[in-house]
Amino acid sequence: MTPLLLRIAAAAFFSLASLIVVLFRVSPLTSPGLAIPFFFLTVFLSVASITTLLCYALWRALSVEGMDTGRMVSVSLREGFFLATATTLLIVFQILGILTWWIGGLIYLVFVLVEVALHS
């Protein structure tokens, strides 16, 4: 495992631990100024790091020719950030009460199409 992947795995562990602490220990009723931004930050970091690791494992299993380890990590990191951004947007739309299934599908479709455009 490369040092960068080890750091991403450590970030996944710490962000999941932080998300659990925010979910179970911080009350949005008593301190909404701290609870809500930290919730979104930990959700973003958790989804981004876990997706990066999963996408790297997928790219490694597919063993695409012409992709070295650095390229696989770069693509996986980009995919992780895209999925984390889309997931955070979905949570914001759900909190605002404007999320429907087709809006969620369109948000993910936009990020998938951006990724396909960047991958070519």
76-89 confidence digits (pLDDT tens):
999 999 999 999 99
Considering its fold, how many domains does the chain have in total? 1
Provide the domain limits for residue 57: 3-119
Q: CA–CA separation, 61 vs 79, rounded Å?
A: 16
Band of the pLDDT at 71, cuts 50, 70, 90? confident
Q: Structure tokens of 118? A: 């960047």
pLDDT digits (tens, 9 = 90+) for 42-59: 999 999 999 999 999 998
Roughly what angle, to the nearest 10 degrees, separates helices 69-96 and 101-119? 160
Q: CA–CA separation, 94 vs 5, rounded Å?
A: 32
Contact 52, 83 (CB under 8 A): no
For the chain, the average pLDDT equals 91
State mean pLDDT over 65-74: 84
Q: Structure tokens of 97? A: 């009460």
Query: Is the pTM above the cut of 0.75?
Result: yes
